[in-house]
Chain A
Amino acid sequence: MPYILNTPDDEQTMLKAIGAESIDELFSTIPAEARLPRALNIPAAMEEIELTQHVGALGRKNQAAGDHVCFLGGGAYDHFIPTVVDAVSSRSEFYTAYTPYQAEASQGSLQAFYEYQTLICQITGMDVANASLYEGGSAVAEAVLMAINVTDRKGNVVVPESLHPEYRQVLATYLANLGVQLVTIPTPGGYLDPAELKKAVGPETAAVVVQHPNFFGHLEEVEELVRITRAAGALYVASFDPISAGVIKRPGQYDADIAVAEGQCLGTPLGYGGPYLGIMACRNEYVRKIPGRLVGQTTDRNGKRCWTLTLQTREQHIRRDKATSNICTNQGLFALRAAVYLTALGPQGLKETAELCLQKAHYLADQLATIPGVSLKFNRPFFKEFAVKLPGDVPVMLKQLQTKGYFAGLHAGRWYPGLADTLTVAVTEKRTKAEMDGLVKAIKELVGK
C-alpha cells in the first residue's frame, strides 16, 4: 500500500498505546447499520507503471491544442508559457503548502501573493487586488455581489450579450436566489451600444458589467459606458483580458470601479478549463467589501518588514454569515504562476506580446476576408479575437478543418442562435504566418468546393 508507513508492528504498538484491540474498534461510534458491508465498487489498485501506461493510453484518445494549429479562444487562450513559470510553480515548497495562516511559516507564499496583488494593480490600473478567486466567470459574479453590497441596491444588474455567455450564465445562477434581476442587452452589432445602456440603467441598478475586449474580441466604448453607469449611481465592473493591458487602456485608466478577469492567459495551461485564475481588483474605497484573501505588509516584533493575511474580518472564518463571500480555498498556485509570468515578461514583454496578438489577428482577418463568401461579421475594432462569417455549415466546416490539422475557431451559434453563420477566431503570439496562411488555404479549399 503506497503512502502509508505504519508497519504491522507499528500498528500493534499504536493500538496498545491507544488501548484498543483493533483498528475496527476505533470506528465503533459509527452505528453498525450505517457501515458499508462490502468493498467499494471501484477498480482495483494499480502500481505506478500500470497507471502511467493507462494515463498514456487515455491521453492518446485526446487531441491537444498542440497537436493542431489552435485558434480557439472564448476565454481560454493558447498563449506561450515561459519555462520559468513551470520551474517556479513546481517548487513543492510552494505547491504543497496550505493557505498561509501561520505567517512565520509562510513568508514565501505571503510575499509572493503580495507581489501578485501589486502586479494585478499594475495591469488593471486599480488600487487594490485580492489574492485570487476561482476563475473568470465566478469573479464576475463576486464583483456583482460586491457592487450590490457597496451600492445597497437590489433592483437589477445590467450586462450586454457581448459579455462571455458562460459568465452570464454563472451570474444568473448567483443572482437567482437574491431577488436581483439580470437585465441582458442584445448586441446585434457585436458591441454594446451606449444608447441602449442608457435606456437600461436606473436608480435600482447596482452594477453594469462590460467585457472589453468583449466575447467577440471587439473593443467596447468603455469611456462612454462608464459615464452612463456612473450617472446612474451604479458600479462599473470591467471584465478584461490581461494580455490586452500591454496595448489598450487598463480598467483603472478608464475609471472602472471593479476589474475582474480570467487569468488563464497569464501562464496557465489550457487544461480543459481549470484550474484557472479569477482576478479581482477595485478602488481603495471598497477594500473592506472585497471578497477573498488579502495579504498586507506589516512589521514583526523585531521591526522587520513582513507579510500576513489581513482584513480577515471580511472573511467567512471570522464573520461567518456576515462575510463578504464564502470563498476559502482560492487559486493560490495560479496566482503565483501569473506573478512569475508577468515578471518574466515585464512591461516590454507584455507590450510585445499584446502587439503580436493584435498584428497577427489583423493579418489573419484580412487574409480570411479575401476568400470569396468569407467576411468579417462585424465592422468593429478588435484586439486578438474576431468574428467571421462563413459560407456554409459552420460546425461541419470546423470538423473538416480539424481533419486538416486546424482548431479553426468557435462556432458562435452555439451561444447565439442569430450567429449560426459565425466563427470566432483567436490569434495569440504563438501563431505563425505559415500557420495562418495554411488556415486560409484550407478554408479557401473548403469554400471552393
Chain B
Amino acid sequence: MNNTQSIELLFELSRPGRRTHRLPVCDVPVKPVSSLLPAGAVAEAPPPLPEVGEIDLIRHYNNLSTRNFSIDTNFYPLGSCTMKYNPKRHERFAANPAFAGVHPLQDEETTQGMLEMLWDMQNFLTEISGLPAISLQPAAGAHGELTALYVAAAYFRDKGMTSRRKVLVPDSAHGTNPASAVLAGFQTITVKSNAKGLVDLDDLKSKLDDSTAVFMITNPNTLGLFEGQIRQITDLVHQAGGLVYLDGANMNAILGITRPGDFGADMQHYNVHKTFTGPHGGGGPGSGPITVRDFLAPYLPTPLVKKVGDKFELDYNLPKSIGRVRSFFGNVGILFRGWAYIRTLGPDGLKKVSEHAVLNANYLLSRLKGNFDVPHGDRCMHEFVASAKGLRREKRISAMDIGKRLLDYGYHAPTVYFPLVVPEALMMEPTETESKQTLDAFADALIAIINEEPTFLHQAPHTMPISRPDEVKAAKEPILRWTA
C-alpha cells in the first residue's frame, strides 16, 4: 500500500481539540493544583503532543503496518536472527490478565502460578544447555553477555585473580560480544578464523595466557559451522585458566542434539526471542537468560526462583551476587512465550526443530551453491553465508543489490555484510518453520535476480514504497524528530 495517508506524520494529522482517550470526571473533591504542588514545579502547559481522533489514529497505524515486512506476511531469512513463526497461542496466553496483570512487587503468595512457570523455565533452560545454574533476568542477548561477563569478573575477583583482564573474541563474532566485554571492564583481543571459517587454534593458543579471563565463542558460529574442535578449544582455554562463554544465538541448530555444558562451555546466554519464538516486535523485546556452571552460580544476579516444599519463592540470598542488571524479574512476557513453546514441543519436538532447521538450511544451500560463492563448503548447520564477491567483480552486483531486489519478489533480505570475515556476505537462515515450496521459490528468485540487468538491480527495489534512502544524508544532517 502506498497511499499518502500512511506517510503523514501523527504531528501533521494533528488538529487542536481532537483526541482519542477521554478521562472520567474526578470523583474526589478537586483542590487547586497550586495548593498541592509548589508553583515552581508545575508546568505551564502539558507537552505539545499531537491531537488525533480514534479513527485517524487507527488508520494511521494500520496503514503504517502495511509498510512493513514481517514473519506473518513474508519469508524472512535474516541470518543470525532465527525468524521463525511466532505461534498465535502464545499471544493469547501472554494477554491473560492472570499473568499480564501481575505487579512485579506483589507478595509471593499471590504469584505462585507465575513463579511455577518461571521455575519450569529455569529447569528447561538448564537442561537444554547442560549448565546447571540460571538467571532469567537479562533483557536480551547482549544483556545476557554483559551479565555473564560481570559474573566472570566477580568470580576472578573473588578468587584473587584480578590480573585476568582480557576477553578473547573470534573475528567472526557478533558485534555485541566485544562491546559487552568492554562495558564489563575487560580488554578485547581478536582471534582469527582459519580458511575453513573456524577458530584458528594456533592463533588462539598464541593469545591465551594468564591474563585471559574469557573466550567468547559462538557455536555453531556465525558462518553456520559447528566448531568441530570445540573440545580442544575449551580445553585450551581452561588450561590457561580462562572461562568459556558460549554466545547462544544459534541454539536453534542444536536443541537436544548437543549441549554447551557438554562441549565445555562455562556460561551461555539464550536469545529466547530467537530460539523460543518471542516475537521480535520490530526491534524488541527480547529475553537473554544465562546458564552457568555450579562454581559460577554464587555470582548470578538475584532474585532466582526457588522451590521450597511445594511453594515457590524468590531467592535474594546470594551474598556474592553481582547484584541486579535490571529492575524487577526479567522480560517475563517473552519467557512465558518461550515456556509455552517448549511445553508445546516437548523433547522430541525440540530436537525436530533443530533437525528441520538444519535440513532447510542445507537444502537451500544445495539449491544455491551452483550460482553463488559459498566460501565455507556445501554443508552447514541452521544457516550459511553465501558471498556475492564473484558477482560483484564480474557483474558489479553487490550483496546489497541482491537484498534490495529480493524485496520486490516479496522476500525479506538475508543479513548482509555480516559476518565481517566474508566479503559481500549474504547470511541466510530459513528456520524450520518454512516449507520446501517456500525455499524453492526463494531460491528461484535469487537465481533469477543474479541474471537480471545489473543497472536495474542497482536501483532496486522497484516496487516498494521507497527505494534506497540516502543514508549519508541521514547521518550527516541528522533529523531525529519532527519539529513544527
Instruction: List 10 interface pairs A-B (beta carbons < 8 Å), by A numbering.
Output: A26-B355, A27-B381, A59-B96, A104-B461, A273-B327, A300-B467, A326-B146, A381-B41, A399-B107, A432-B27
* Pick from A5, A134, A271, A325: contact of B102, CB under 8 Å: A271
A169 to B150, CA, bound (A): 14
Minimum CB–CB distance from B207 to chain A (whole Å) comes to 15
Measured CA separation A222–B464 after assembly (Å): 49
Query: Nearest chain-B residue to A20 (Cβ)?
Result: B362
With contacts A104-B464, A331-B284 taken as known, whether A31 is within 8 angstroms of B50 at the C-beta atoms is: no
* B285 touching A270, Cβ below 8 Å: no
The answer to whether A92 and B70 have CB atoms under 8 Å apart is yes
Which residue on A lies nearest to B120, using beta carbons? A43
Tell me if A84 is interfacial: C-beta within 8 Å of chain B: yes
Distance in angstroms between the alpha carbons of A109 and B418 in the assembled complex: 22
Residues of B within 8 A of A65 (CB): 101-103, 106
Given contacts A26-B358, A40-B351, A273-B332, contact A112 B64 (CB under 8 A): yes
Contacts of A329 on B, CB cut-off 8 Å? 140-142, 271, 273, 280, 283-286
Interface string of B215-248 (1 = CB under 8 A from A): 0000000000110101100000000000000000
Q: Is the CB of B69 within 8 A of A117?
A: no
Q: Is A389 an interface residue (CB 8 A)?
A: no
Nearest-neighbor residue (CB-CB) of A14 within chain B: B363
Q: Complex: how many Å from CA A336 to CA B285?
A: 11
Cβ of B11 within 8 Å of any chain A Cβ, yes or no, is yes
Name the contact of B106 in the complex, choosing from A63, A138, A327 (C-beta under 8 A): A63
Q: Which residue of A lies closest to B228 (CB)?
A: A29
User: Quick check: A274 and B330 within 8 Å, CB to CB?
Assistant: yes
**Across the interface, do A293 and B33 meet the contact criterion of CB distance under 8 Å?**
no
Within 8 A of B (CB), among A88-147: 88, 90-109, 111-115, 117-119, 121-123, 125, 127-129, 131-132, 134-138, 145
Q: Is the CB of B231 within 8 A of A3?
A: no
* Residues of chain B lying within 8 A (CB to CB) of residue A60: 98, 113
Partner of A105, one of B33, B68, B474: B68
**Contact indicator A253/B327 (Cβ below 8 Å):** no
Per the bound structure, the CA–CA distance linking A97 and B91 in Å amounts to: 15
- Chain B residues within 8 Å of chain A by Cβ, number: 203
Residues of A close to B263: CB separation below 8 A: 31, 34
A109–B68 CA distance with the chains assembled, in angstroms:
7
Q: Which of A150-169 contact B (CB under 8 A)?
A: 164, 166-167, 169
Option from B68, B87, B185, B366 in Cβ contact (under 8 Å) with A3? B87
Within the complex, the shortest CB–CB distance from A407 to chain B, in Å, comes to: 7
With A26-B359, A98-B282 known to touch, is A51 a contact of B226 (CB < 8 Å)? no
In the complex, what residues of B have CB within 8 A of residue A63's CB?
102, 106, 110-111
**A90 CB to nearest B CB, Å:** 7
Asked whether, in the complex, the Cβ of B283 is within 8 Å of the Cβ of A109, the reply is yes
Q: Please indicate the chain A residues that have their CB under 8 angstroms from the CB of B349 in the complex.
A: 1-2, 45
CB distance from B120 to the nearest CB of A (A): 8
As a 0/1 sequence over residues 15 to 54 of chain A, the CB contacts with chain B under 8 angstroms (1 = contact) are: 1011110010011011101111001111111111001101
Q: List CB contacts (< 8 Å) of A320-353 with chain B.
A: 320-323, 325-336, 339-340, 342-353
Determine if B326 is an interface residue (Cβ-Cβ < 8 Å).
Answer: yes
Contact at B327–A347, with CB atoms within 8 Å?
no
Q: Check B185–A274 contact: CB distance below 8 A.
A: no
Expressed in whole angstroms, the Cα–Cα distance for A112 and B117 within the complex equals: 33
Contacts of B31 in A (CB 8 A): 359, 362
- On chain A, the residues within 8 Å of B471 by CB distance are 298, 308, 310
In the assembled complex, B324 has its CB within 8 A of some CB on chain A: yes
Q: Are A31 and B230 in contact (CB under 8 A)?
A: yes
A5 CB contact (under 8 Å) in B100, B124, B285, B435? B435
Q: Nearest chain A CB to B113's CB is how many angstroms away?
A: 3
Chain B residues with Cβ below 8 Å from A35 are 257-258
Cβ-closest chain B residue relative to A288: B478
* Whole-angstrom distance between the Cβ of B323 and the nearest chain A Cβ: 4
A419 sits at the interface (CB 8 A): no
Contact A15 B359, beta carbon cutoff 8 Å: yes
> Given contacts A54-B343, A98-B83, A131-B283, is CB(A245)–CB(B43) below 8 Å?
yes
Q: B280, A98: Cβ atoms under 8 Å?
A: yes
With a cutoff of 8 Å between Cβ atoms, the chain B residues found around residue A18 in the complex are 359, 362-363, 365-366, 379
Contact residue among B52, B127, B143, B185 (Cβ-Cβ distance under 8 Å from A134): B143
Q: Could you tell me if A344 and B153 are in contact, using CB atoms closer than 8 angstroms?
A: no
Of the listed stretches B175-183, B289-297, B445-453, chain A binds B175-183
Q: Choose from B30, B72, B141 the contact partner of A328 (Cβ within 8 Å).
A: B141
| B128 part of interface (Cβ distance < 8 Å) | yes
Task: Say yes or no: B51 contacts A347, CB within 8 Å.
Answer: yes
Name the A residues within 8 Å of B40 (CB-CB). 223, 249
Docked complex Cα distance between A269 and B66 (Å): 26
Closest B residue to A131 by beta carbon equals B283
Q: Which of A299-327 contact B (CB under 8 A)?
A: 299-302, 304-308, 310-313, 315-323, 325-327
Q: How far is the CA of A105 from the CA of B327 in the complex (A)?
A: 34
Are A316 and B282 touching (Cβ within 8 A)? no
Q: How far is the CB of B380 from chain A (nearest CB, A)?
A: 8
Chain B hits for A99, CB < 8 A: 280, 282-284
A271 touches B332 (CB 8 A): yes
Note all chain B residues with C-beta closer than 8 A to A44: 346-347
Cβ contacts A177-209/B at 8 Å (1 or 0 each) = 111000000000000000000000000000000
Decide: A123 and B49 in contact? CB cutoff 8 A: yes
Is A29 in contact with B226, judged by CB distance below 8 angstroms? yes
Whether A248 and B37, one on each chain, are in contact in the complex, defined by CB atoms closer than 8 angstroms, is: yes
Measured between beta carbons, the chain A residues less than 8 angstroms from B87 are 2-3
A-contact 0/1 string along B8-37, CB 8 Å cutoff: 011100000011111100111111010011
Residues of chain B with a CB closer than 8 A to A111's CB:
7, 9, 64, 67
Q: Decide yes or no whether B393 CB sits under 8 A from chain A.
A: no
B270 in contact (CB, < 8 A): no
Contact B340 A356 (CB under 8 A): no
Verify if B442 is at the interface (C-beta below 8 Å from A): no
Q: A46-B344, A62-B99 are in contact. Are A326 and B323 (CB under 8 A)?
A: no
Most buried by A among B117, B183, B331: B183
Between B36, B76, B123, the greatest number of chain A beta carbons within 10 A of the residue's beta carbon is seen for B36
Partner of B89, one of A52, A64, A298, A354: A52
Contact residues, B425-475 vs A (CB, 8 A): 432-436, 459, 461, 464-471, 473-475
* A305 vs B12: C-alpha distance when bound (angstroms): 14
> In the complex the two chains form, is B328's CB within 8 Å of A138's CB?
no
| CB of A257 within 8 Å of the partner chain | no
- Tell whether, in the assembled complex, residue A138 and residue B325 are in contact, meaning their CB atoms are under 8 Å apart: yes
The one of A6, A34, A320 that contacts B258, using a Cβ cutoff of 8 Å: A34
Contact for A172 among B29, B323, B467, CB less than 8 A = B323
Query: 0/1 per residue, B54-98, Cβ < 8 Å to A?
Result: 100110011011111111111010100101111101011111111
Question: Within the complex, what minimum Cβ distance (angstroms) separates B272 from chain A?
Answer: 11
**9-residue interface stretch from A68-76, A228-236, A369-377, A441-449:** A68-76
Alpha-carbon distance A113/B153, docked complex (angstroms)? 36
B478 near A311: Cβ-Cβ < 8 Å: yes
- For B180, the closest partner residue in chain A by CB is A326
Question: 1/0 per residue A375-419: CB within 8 Å of B?
Answer: 000000101000000000000001100100001001000000000
Complex CA gap A221/B348 in Å reads: 60
Contact A42 B128, CB 8 Å, known A247-B37, A270-B103: yes
Among B62, B145, B254, B480, the residue within 8 A (CB) of A117 is B480
Chain B positions within 8 Å of A432 at CB level? 27
The reply on A429 being an interface residue by CB < 8 A is yes
New A-B contacts (19) at CB < 8 Å, excluding given A107-B64, A270-B104, A381-B36: A1-B345, A5-B435, A6-B435, A36-B259, A63-B102, A63-B106, A76-B328, A101-B78, A105-B412, A111-B64, A115-B482, A118-B9, A129-B481, A296-B478, A298-B470, A320-B178, A344-B19, A347-B45, A347-B48
| Contact status of A138 and B326, CB under 8 A, knowing A29-B228, A45-B349, A117-B481 | yes
